[in-house]
């Protein structure tokens, strides 16, 4: 079923913003995930997850990598809004 509405608590937004601002100050890109529950067409974010990540900066630009093992660990039993 398609999600049509999302509830996103301010503290979850603040956590992501602080993380991205922190890694951005170092010239890197970061990643954060919102985890929650879906009921019918509504998704309620319940927490922010900052996965283990590797920041890469080259002459071509920046990127962030999350190891496959970390993604598998995070996705086991969770619904992640991406």
Q: What's the pLDDT tens digit per position in 3-62?
A: 999 999 999 999 999 999 999 999 999 999 998 999 999 999 999 999 999 999 999 999
> What pLDDT is stored for residue 22 in this prediction?
98
End-to-end CA distance of the chain: 16
pLDDT at 79 exceeding the cut of 90? no
CA 15: distance to chain centroid?
10
By the 8 A CB rule, do 62 and 28 touch?
A: yes
Mean pLDDT of 51-78: 89
């Amino acid at each position: 079923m398609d999600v049509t509405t999302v509830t996103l608590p301010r503290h979850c937004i603040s956590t992501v913003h602080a993380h991205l601002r922190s890694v951005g100050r170092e010239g890197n890109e970061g990643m954060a995930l919102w985890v929650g529950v879906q009921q019918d067409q509504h998704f309620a974010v319940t927490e922010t997850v900052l996965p283990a990540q590797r920041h890469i900066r080259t002459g071509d630009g920046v990127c962030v990598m999350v190891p496959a093992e970390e993604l598998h660990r995070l996705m086991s039993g969770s619904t992640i809004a991406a």
